[in-house]
Structure 1
Amino acid sequence: MTWRNEVARLRGLVAVLVSAAFVASVFVAPARATERDRLVAFLEVTGFGVAIDSIAQTAEDAPAMIGMTPQDFGPAWSRIAGEVFDSALMRDMALDMLEETLDVGMLGHAAAFYASDLGQRLVEVENASHMQRTDEDAREEAEARAAALPPERRAALARMNAAIDAGGMIERAMREIQVRFLLAAADAGLTEDDFDADMLRRLLTQGAGEARAEMREAALVSAARTYRSLPTDDLRAYALALEHPVMARVYELMNAVQFEIMANRFEALATRLGEVPPARDL
């Protein structure tokens, strides 16, 4: 799988980053409950914890960025990937960042939507999609389904996806994740190249237009598959809620947390892999 294909797949993943159900009790917890307690509950009731867990699925595609595969690292691969992408570790990272970003006002606003019946139905389908790794046959089927969408449903999905990334963060973050992984891989001796960060960013920006179009189409395919059981009116209501300025800020912060954890773990993966002789050299 090429990095460009992985970007498209990750875009689909991030397109459902924070969509989930808030439970009102999170915001009226007893006084003895700490802010950390409320954030732990936030991870559970919104599905954000499942989204964080699913970052581990991207690990096996990272070596492709340097022309390698997980098999090149032999039996050490599973151990290292499991340690670097440990669910408890990544959730703790998310909680630390959420404490510095989300305030009670944002959470309270989001609760008005996510505690609704629609919110509950959204979290059900989105949680189910987070941990599904799509094979080639399933991807082709999803693409065919998206191509056959009625115009009004396609428009509703496109509007929803646009609202999820109103600030255009996702494209920039995808480039930065690749830059950080490649630099860490070079530092770890996994490549013969001596990468320059500014040069890498310029090179990746050159293909930004094409990548942006591919990401939009991949997000549409992913959304069509994820929300196939929901009526179009629900999708319109969802998009409307996402377009509210406060909700847009919540999504911006959630995306930032997701991407920072992903980039951090990719850097750590490169460092750890540099400690192991590739299996093909043994």
Structure 2
Amino acid sequence: MTQFRQIAAAPIFAVLMMALAIGLPLAPRAQAAERERIEAFLATTGFDVALDSIAFASSSAPEMLGIDPGAFGQSWTRTVDDVFDTEVMRGIALDILEQTLSDEALNHAVEFYASDLGQRLVEAENASHMIEDDAAKQEEGKAIVAELVRDGSDRVETLKRMNAAIDASGTSLRALQEIQLRFLMAASAAGVIELKVGPEEMRAMMQANEGAMRSALQMSALAGAAYTYQDFTDAEVAAYTEALEQPPMQEVYELLNAVQYEIMANRFEVLAARMADLHPAQEL
């Protein structure tokens, strides 16, 4: 599964989470796929590895709160490993997808990703997901983009199309803002930090910087794609982009992005509550 950004797929996900919360039966979107097939789907598409890589984002949590990331010592590592347990995150994904992923969408995605090209793409994407040093990956990706631009390659525009297909609704920025906001509010409620402004004021401050943040996200996504798919031919990258632009694949990505967004936001809220039990001074 291609390089994920956390996308708040609002229409589908708002209805989904409300139904799950109050225990209403969900109308099948064609027919919901059974759990065993979804587990195989996650492995075939590489979404299982994409979920596992969410844990890497936890490294930014203390900095978002203005806390020295090394202040918690080994207790931080233990807490992160517990909160971002891969089995827990995969279980949440399975619970949601079991009730929402249609057979048509599942079969369409599996057919592509099970192909020779699809499996090579998944292998490259899985390797990219599991690189913890994102800064180094970004620098190498930017260098690749710069070289492509100098050569006048059409590949840059193809990669931009690919990223647009992944975030067809264009809501990745708002999703990242919401994750940060939910984390800050949870940390405040747990007594980890004291906020001087309310959620609406924080949203307003985030919106004021949206232009610059959106540009930064687009540049980051382009560099990430350039790095991940550097060993593929232009024709293969174009074929992948066209596959991602197909309506059934768009349905898959809308749902999977929403699932990953909710898992990330949920885990950060749990992490904020757990941070209240950590004692930096005792670990220094």
TM-score normalised by L of structure 1: 0.85
- In 1, the alpha carbon distance for the partners of 2:207 and 2:265 equals 18
- Matched with 1:193 is 195
- Matched with 1:204 is 206
Task: Decide which moves more: 179-188 or 142-151.
Answer: 142-151
Question: Taking structure 1 as reference, are residues 200 and 281 closer, same or farther at Cα in structure 2, changes over 3 Å only?
Answer: farther
- In 2, the alpha carbon distance for the partners of 1:232 and 1:177 equals 35
After superposition, the C-alpha distances for 1:165-201 in whole angstroms (9 at most, x for unaligned) are 0101211110100000000111111112154222222
Contact kept, 8 Å, 1:182 with 1:195, in 2: the verdict is no
Q: Give the AA of the match of 2:186.
A: A
- In 2, the alpha carbon distance for the partners of 1:247 and 1:116 equals 15
Task: Decide which moves more: 241-250 or 223-232.
Answer: 241-250
- Matched with 2:79 is 80
Question: Taking structure 1 as reference, are residues 109 and 80 closer, same or farther at Cα in structure 2, changes over 3 Å only?
Answer: same
- In 2, the alpha carbon distance for the partners of 1:51 and 1:249 equals 18
- Matched with 2:259 is 257
Residues 1:274 and 2:280 aligned together: no
Residues 1:118 and 2:117 aligned together: yes
Q: Give the AA of the match of 1:169.
A: T
Q: Give the AA of the match of 2:115.
A: S
Question: Taking structure 1 as reference, are residues 146 and 202 closer, same or farther at Cα in structure 2, changes over 3 Å only?
Answer: same
- In 1, the alpha carbon distance for the partners of 2:230 and 2:283 equals 47
Residues 1:91 and 2:90 aligned together: yes
- In 2, the alpha carbon distance for the partners of 1:86 and 1:160 equals 30
Task: Summarize the alignment of residues 1-282 of structure 1 with structure 2, pairs less than 5 Å apart.
Answer: 13-14=3-4, 35-134=34-133, 136-149=135-148, 150-279=152-281
Question: Taking structure 1 as reference, are residues 144 and 203 closer, same or farther at Cα in structure 2, changes over 3 Å only?
Answer: same
Q: CA deviation at 1:13?
A: 4.7
Q: CA deviation at 1:77?
A: 0.6
Contact kept, 8 Å, 2:55 with 2:84, in 1: the verdict is yes
Contact kept, 8 Å, 1:14 with 1:255, in 2: the verdict is yes
- In 2, the alpha carbon distance for the partners of 1:101 and 1:137 equals 37
- In 2, the alpha carbon distance for the partners of 1:135 and 1:160 equals 20
Q: CA deviation at 1:272?
A: 0.1
Q: Give the AA of the match of 1:48.
A: F
Contact kept, 8 Å, 1:142 with 1:222, in 2: the verdict is yes
Contact kept, 8 Å, 2:45 with 2:109, in 1: the verdict is no
Question: Taking structure 1 as reference, are residues 13 and 274 closer, same or farther at Cα in structure 2, changes over 3 Å only?
Answer: farther
Q: Give the AA of the match of 2:190.
A: A
- In 2, the alpha carbon distance for the partners of 1:239 and 1:143 equals 20
After superposition, the C-alpha distances for 1:70-123 in whole angstroms (9 at most, x for unaligned) are 322232111111100001111101101111221111112223322222211111
Contact kept, 8 Å, 1:13 with 1:130, in 2: the verdict is yes
Identity of aligned residues (%): 49
Structure 2 stretches lacking a partner, 5+ long? 8-32
- In 2, the alpha carbon distance for the partners of 1:51 and 1:86 equals 13
Q: CA deviation at 1:264?
A: 0.4
- Matched with 1:7 is none
SS of the residue 1:222 aligns to: helix
Task: Decide which moves more: 59-68 or 104-113.
Answer: 104-113
Q: Give the AA of the match of 1:100.
A: Q
Count residues with an aligned counterpart: 255
- In 1, the alpha carbon distance for the partners of 2:236 and 2:161 equals 12
Q: Give the AA of the match of 2:78.
A: R
Question: Taking structure 1 as reference, are residues 254 and 60 closer, same or farther at Cα in structure 2, changes over 3 Å only?
Answer: same
After superposition, the C-alpha distances for 1:215-266 in whole angstroms (9 at most, x for unaligned) are 1111010000000000011111111111112211110110000110000000
Task: Decide which moves more: 57-66 or 129-138.
Answer: 129-138
- In 2, the alpha carbon distance for the partners of 1:194 and 1:95 equals 38
